[in-house]
Amino acid sequence: MRKALAGFTFLLLLTSAGPARAQKSNDPGEFKDLIQRYWQAWSTLNPDNAAPMYAKDADAVFFDISPLKYNGWEEYKQGVQKVFATAASASFAPNDDLKATRRGNIAWTSSTFHGTVTQKDGKTMDLAGRHTAVWEKRGGHWVIVHEHVSAPLPD
């Protein structure tokens, strides 16, 4: 009886732990390219280039450096166009600290980045920031369903 109980317990542990491990991935490999493409798209200053990477749900929430919050992709797109209106060019690049965690068709990434924005008046602004995104796999493609971009307060 004791052997049967031990065997049953072992099988129970094996079957309950197996699927969770199979769905968990902390390898940033598949998201490294996505993050690189993300920053390349935003470096164009054209939100249409970044649009394919975002869910279009009206109730999706995106936090950016300014303003505080956007509700849905359309509001985000319009807000970013206003922010970028004074910029002539930009270059954003991820730092080498990407962390990605995946659970089935949901994943979240976090990393820091560096940006340089040149204004139309010639002034240049350097920016160090943080980026966290929640991704969902839809139709075979990862899209951002929630995002938080922030910068530390100046010292």
Q: List the pLDDT tens digit at each of the 155 positions of the chain.
A: 444 433 433 333 333 333 444 344 566 788 999 999 999 999 999 999 999 999 999 999 999 988 889 999 999 999 999 999 999 999 999 999 999 999 999 999 999 999 999 999 999 999 999 999 999 999 999 999 999 999 998 87
Under a CB-based contact definition with an 8 Å cutoff, are residues 36 and 100 in contact? no
Residue 7: predicted pLDDT = 42
Could you count the other beta carbons within 10 Å of the beta carbon of residue 132?
A: 15
* pTM more than 0.85: no
Residue 8: predicted pLDDT = 36
Topology annotation, domain 24-150: Nuclear Transport Factor 2; Chain: A, (3.10.450)
Residue 43: predicted pLDDT = 98
Residue 25: predicted pLDDT = 53
Q: Is 18 exposed, middle or buried (0-12, 13-18, 19+ CB in 10 A)?
A: exposed
Give the Cα separation of 62 and 34 in Å (integer).
Answer: 18
